[in-house]
Amino acid sequence: MSSLQSDKIFGGSIAKFYEEYIVPLIFEPYAEDLARRLVSRRLARVLEIAAGTGVVTRHLASLLPEDVSIVATDLNQPMLHLASELGTARRVEWRQADAMQLPFENGSFDAVVCQFGAMFFPDKSKAFAEARRVLRSGGVLLFNVWDRIEENEFADVVTTSLESVFSADPPRFLARTPHGYHDIATILRDLRSGGFGTTPLVDTVAVQSIAASARIPALAYCQGTPLRNEIEARDKSRLAEATDIAENAIARQFGRGQVAGKIQAHIVAAEC
């Protein structure tokens, strides 16, 4: 299996570690931010793509009026299964779907929301075109992507630390995919190619990621993301060692107690 293929696999225990560690560490503040950006809009039906374990979905269900219908989709059924088990404040329709070929009619949603999923789309313009197709006139595609890895301290430290474990072929998932789609000019070009004619609004937002110890971000990244797939593809027996090395590297830079590191993302709103 190629790296680009394994980058999209959130199978096995990854979904559990993702929800337990990654979601509170880096996703929660941006999920609330996305949901709040929709509160003032007149909405009847909202589609979420790449919903993962449902962190944005839960905020949408809590913040949007009861009469707004929410459909949450993801390519990975294990993620959706956990999301539905965790539940939401009100009814949400969960559906497995590929963002590259959405199973919905033209013009059937007022908003399409995507948290940290666009980086995984093999053809960004095609995925944006699909979002544009299912949006009604006046609708909005609202999504966020991580900024470059150097602006996201824990991810950067973890990536660098694993070079000492696999020096001949260090795992590069975090730099390649989650933090590999950060250039705003490229994003705007892909949106234009996908049919969004109005210049999107882009906000760059930095927050502090806080954890009780260095162990938490090490577990989050090494075992709660497809970085785990890369580590195990090199040597399955060294996953625990790689996690320990990442933990020690974080502790050296941020301390042995509570740790705090900068995270930064772009939030993009593209109107139809």
Mean pLDDT across the chain: 95
**Whether the predicted pLDDT of 191 surpasses 80:** yes
Distance CA 95, CA 74 (A): 7
Q: What is the pLDDT of residue 3?
A: 52
* 237-271 pLDDT per residue, tens: 999 999 999 999 999 999 999 999 999 999 999 99
Separation in Å, CA 59 to CA 32, 50, 191, 234:
6, 15, 26, 37
Dist. CA 33–CA 189, nearest whole Å: 24
Residue 10 has pLDDT above 70, yes or no: no
Question: Average pLDDT for residues 49-72, to the nearest whole number?
Answer: 97
Tell me, what's the pLDDT at 11?
Answer: 55
CB atoms within 10 A of CB 249: 20
Return d(Cα 149, Cα 159) in angstroms, integer. Answer: 9
- In the predicted model, is pLDDT for residue 121 greater than 80? yes
Query: In which band, very low, low, confident or very high, does the pLDDT at 97 lie, cut at 50, 70 and 90?
Result: very high
Cα torsion 129, 132, 133, 139 to 10°: value is: 180
What does residue 271 show for φ and ψ, rounded to 5 degrees? Answer: -90, 145
Query: What is the per-residue pLDDT for 13?
Result: 76
Tell me which residue of 154, 121, 127, 123 sits closest to 224, measured CA to CA.
Answer: 154
Residues whose CB is less than 8 angstroms from the CB of residue 158 and which lie 6 or more positions away in sequence, other chains included: 174, 217, 218, 221, 222, 227, 246, 249, 250
Mean pLDDT across the stretch 5-27? 80
Cα–chain-centroid distance for residue 76?
Answer: 13
pTM as predicted: 0.94
The DSSP secondary-structure symbol of 24 reads I
Tokens 């790296």 label which residue? 3
pLDDT tens digits along 127-137: 999 999 999 99
Buried/exposed code over 63-72 (b: 16+ C-beta within 10 A; e: otherwise): ebeeebbbbb
Q: DSSP 3-state helix, strand, coil percentages of the chain (rounded to 5)?
A: 45, 20, 30
State whether residue 211 is helix, strand or coil. strand
Q: Which of 242, 205, 204, 252 is nearest to 221 (CA)?
A: 242
First to last CA, the chain: 38
More confident residue, 10 or 179: 179
Following DSSP, what letter does each residue of 82-115 receive, concatenated? HHHHH--SS--EEEE-BTTB--S-TT-EEEEEEE
Give the model's confidence band at 51: pLDDT under 50 very low, under 70 low, under 90 confident, else very high: very high
Cβ burial, residue 19 (10 Å; 0-12/13-18/19+): buried
| Annotated domain spans of the chain | 3-271
- Specify the pLDDT at position 186: 98
Check whether 174 has a pLDDT greater than 50: yes
- pLDDT at site 260: 98
Among 3.40.50.620, 2.40.340.10, 3.30.360.10, 3.40.50.150, what is the CATH number of 3-271?
3.40.50.150
Q: Is the pLDDT of residue 1 over 90?
A: no
pLDDT value at position 15?
Answer: 87
